[in-house]
C-alpha cells in the first residue's frame, strides 16, 4: 500500500522535488510513498483529502493565508493529515514567510535565529552535529546524530514535544530543533532546517543518518487514522492535474517571448516562483529593463538574508553585478564542493580528537551524572512548590472570566499527556526488545515519569480551580 505526499508549490518553497529534493523523492518512492507536487494556490480541506502528508519545504517570500491555515487545521485534526513544516536560518523573518502562524496552532513556533556550534560541527559552525534526542521517539529511533544544516531553532508553546535538542556548546544552547505534536486524529512535525534533506550538499541528505531520519519522519507522519482510510479505500489517490498548471505555463511562454534573445530564459527563474499573475506582472514591469544586472543583485541579497554563509557581500560594489546565471551557479557549486570537502576533513580530525576525549573513566562519569541528578531533583521539588503557588496566585479571583482559557489549557495538557504516555510505551517496547540498555532505559523512564507527574499535577490544579 502506498501513501501519498504532497509537496506544496504554491508558496514558493526553497525545497523542490524537481530541483534539490530529487534524491529525497527517489528515497521515498522506493519505500512505499508516492510524491506529488501540490499546486493549489488556495489550499482547501477538500483538495487535501487524497493526501496523507503535506510538506511545506521552506516557503520563500510567500505567506499562507488565514483561510488556508484554517483549512489545514481542519485537515490535520479531522482527516488525520500529516503536516511537515520545514524552515531555514532566520525563521519567518529571514524568509519573509509565516510558518509560525500555522505551527502555533499545534503548539510550536519557529524562532528568528540560526543554530551555530563552534565545537561540534561538520567543519563550519552553521553545520552543527546534534546528538541530543530526548525523550526517545519513533522519528529518532536508531539515529545517534544528525547535521542541523543552516537551521533556526523552534519553541514549544503548547501540547508539543521536542525530539531533537541543540548541544550545550550550541548557540542557542539546549533548545528544541525538531518538535512533534499529535492534534486529535493528525500528526505534525516541525524542523528549522529544510537543508537537511537537500541533494548533493554537505550536511544534506547524503549525511550518514539523514536518509533513515527522513524515512522515520514520513512513516511517523502517516497517522493510524490515515492508515485505516487507505485500507478501506475511502479516498482515491491524488491525480496529476496538469490543468492547474495551465496559467503558469501561459506565463512561462509569455516570459520566453518577452525576454531579449541575448538573455537566457533560465535567468528569469527567480520570477517563475511568483504565486499570482498580478505580482508577476508588477515585477516584470519593474525589472525587465534591468533584468541582466538586477537578477544577480536580488539573488545575492537572498543569499545574504538566508544567513547560510558568514561572508557579507557589498551589493553596492561592481562585483554585485553578476554577469550571468551560469557563472553564479558555478560559484555556488564550487563553494558547496569545497564546503563538503572541508567538512569531511574537519570531521576526520574531530573523530580523532573525540576518541582521545573518551578516555575519561566510567566511574568519573557516573559520579558526575549522580551529582547532577541529585541537584535536578532538588531543583524540581522547589520548582513544583513554586509552580503550585503561582497557579493559585495567577487565577485567584479571576476564575469565571478566564474559564474558557483554563478549559482550553486543560484540553491541551490532556493531549500532551497522551503523547508522553505513548512515548513511555515506546521506551518500554524498545527495552523489552533489547534495543535499549538498562542505564538508558532507567534514565528515560525516570524523565518521562517526572514529566507525566508534572502534567497531571497541572491538570489537577486547573480542574480544582474550575470546580
Q: Provide the 10 A C-beta neighbour count for residue 202.
A: 24
Strands (E), 182-299: 187-191
Q: Which residues contact 191 (CB under 8 A, 6 or more apart)?
A: 84, 85, 86, 87, 151, 154, 164, 177, 178
Mean pLDDT in residue range 191-214: 97
Q: CA–CA distance from 175 to each of 115, 172, 191, 319 (Å)?
A: 9, 6, 12, 38
Share of the chain above pLDDT 70, in %: 65
Helix H or strand E encompassing 57: strand 53-57
As a whole number of Å, the end-to-end CA separation of the chain is 49
Q: Which residues contact 189 (CB under 8 A, 6 or more apart)?
A: 82, 83, 84, 85, 139, 178, 179, 180, 217, 220, 221
For residue range 392-407, list pLDDT tens digits in order: 555 555 666 677 777 8
C-alpha cell at 391: 497557579
Count CA atoms within 13 Å of residue 248 on its CB side: 16
Mean pLDDT of 159-188: 96
Say what the pLDDT of residue 258 is. 47
Neighbours of 278 (CB within 10 A): 9
Tell me what the mean pLDDT of segment 150-167 comes to.
96
pLDDT at 318: 44
The better pLDDT of the pair 58, 246 is held by 58
Helix, strand, coil % over all residues of the chain, rounded to 5 = 55, 10, 35
Residues pairing with 121 in the sheet:
128
CB distance 63 to 11 below 8 Å: yes
- Nearby residues of 452 by Cβ (< 8 Å), 6 or more positions away: 417, 420, 421, 424
Out of 191-195, 371-375, 377-381, 418-422, the most confident range is 191-195
Residue 428 pLDDT: 83
Cα–Cα nearest to 446, from 77, 78, 135, 166: 135
Q: Of 321 and 172, which is predicted with more confidence?
A: 172
Residue 288: all three cell numbers together: 525587465
- Which residues, in sequence order, are CB contacts of 50 under 8 Å at separation 6+? 4, 235, 236, 237, 238
pLDDT surpassing 70 at residue 62:
yes
Q: What is the pLDDT, as a whole number, of residue 294? A: 61
Instruction: Determine the Cα–Cα distance for residues 212 and 209; give it in Å rounded to an integer.
Output: 6
Task: Return the higher-pLDDT residue of 140 and 303.
Answer: 140
Q: What is the pLDDT of residue 429?
A: 81
Higher pLDDT pick, 310 / 1: 1
> What digits encode the pLDDT tens for the residues 1-33?
899 999 999 999 999 999 999 999 999 999 999
What's the pLDDT tens digit per position in 240-275?
553 344 344 444 444 444 444 444 444 444 444 555
Amino acid at each position: 500500500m502506498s501513501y501519498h505526499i504532497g509537496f506544496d508549490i504554491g508558496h514558493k518553497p526553497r525545497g523542490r522535488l524537481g530541483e534539490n529534493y530529487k534524491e529525497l523523492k527517489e528515497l521515498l518512492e522506493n519505500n512505499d510513498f508516492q510524491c506529488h507536487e501540490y499546486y493549489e494556490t488556495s489550499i482547501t480541506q477538500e483538495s487535501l483529502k487524497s493526501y496523507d502528508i503535506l510538506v511545506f519545504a521552506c516557503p520563500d517570500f510567500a505567506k499562507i493565508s488565514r483561510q488556508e491555515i484554517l483549512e489545514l487545521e481542519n485537515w490535520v485534526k479531522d482527516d488525520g493529515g500529516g503536516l511537515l513544516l520545514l524552515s531555514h536560518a532566520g525563521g519567518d523573518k529571514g524568509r519573509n514567510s509565516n510558518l509560525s502562524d500555522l505551527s502555533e496552532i499545534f503548539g510550536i513556533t519557529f524562532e528568528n535565529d540560526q543554530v551555530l556550534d563552534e565545537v561540534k560541527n561538520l567543519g563550519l559552525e552553521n553545520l552543527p552535529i546534534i546528538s541530543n534526542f530526548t525523550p526517545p521517539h519513533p522519528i529518532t529511533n536508531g539515529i545517534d546524530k544528525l547535521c542541523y544544516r543552516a537551521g533556526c531553532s523552534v519553541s514549544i508553546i503548547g501540547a508539543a514535544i521536542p525530539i531533537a535538542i541543540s548541544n550545550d556548546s550550541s548557540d542557542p544552547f539546549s533548545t528544541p530543533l525538531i518538535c512533534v505534536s499529535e492534534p486529535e486524529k493528525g500528526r505534525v512535525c516541525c524542523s528549522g532546517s529544510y537543508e537537511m534533506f537537500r541533494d548533493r550538499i554537505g550536511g544534506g541528505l547524503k549525511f550518514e543518518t539523514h536518509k533513515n531520519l527522513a524515512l522515520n519522519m514520513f512513516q511517523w507522519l502517516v497517522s493510524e487514522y490515515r492508515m485505516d482510510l487507505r485500507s478501506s479505500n475511502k479516498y482515491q489517490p491524488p491525480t496529476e492535474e496538469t490543468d492547474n498548471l495551465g496559467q503558469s505555463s501561459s506565463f512561462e511562454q509569455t516570459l520566453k517571448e518577452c525576454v531579449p534573445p541575448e538573455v537566457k530564459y533560465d535567468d528569469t527563474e527567480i520570477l517563475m516562483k511568483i504565486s499570482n499573475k498580478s505580482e508577476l506582472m508588477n515585477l516584470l514591469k519593474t525589472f525587465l529593463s534591468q533584468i541582466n544586472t538586477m537578477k544577480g543583485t536580488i539573488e545575492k541579497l537572498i543569499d545574504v538574508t538566508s544567513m547560510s554563509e558568514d561572508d557579507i557581500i557589498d551589493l553596492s560594489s561592481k562585483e554585485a553585478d553578476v554577469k550571468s546565471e551560469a557563472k553564479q551557479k558555478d560559484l555556488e557549486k564550487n563553494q558547496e564542493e569545497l564546503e563538503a570537502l572541508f567538512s569531511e576533513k574537519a570531521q576526520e580530525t574531530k573523530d580523532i580528537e573525540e576518541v582521545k576525549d573518551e578516555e575519561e573513566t566510567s566511574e568519573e562519569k557516573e559520579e558526575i551524572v549522580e551529582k547532577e541528578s541529585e541537584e535536578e531533583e532538588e531543583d524540581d521539588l522547589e520548582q513544583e512548590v513554586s509552580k503550585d503557588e503561582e497557579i493559585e496566585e495567577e487565577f485567584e479571583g479571576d476564575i469565571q472570566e478566564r474559564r474558557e482559557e483554563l478549559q482550553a489549557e486543560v484540553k491541551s495538557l490532556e493531549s500532551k499527556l497522551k503523547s508522553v504516555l505513548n512515548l513511555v510505551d515506546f521506551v518500554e517496547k524498545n527495552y523489552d526488545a533489547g534495543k535499549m540498555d538498562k542505564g538508558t532505559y532507567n534514565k528515560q523512564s525516570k524523565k518521562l515519569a517526572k514529566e507525566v507527574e508534572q502534567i497531571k499535577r497541572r491538570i489537577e490544579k486547573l480542574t480544582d480551580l474550575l470546580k
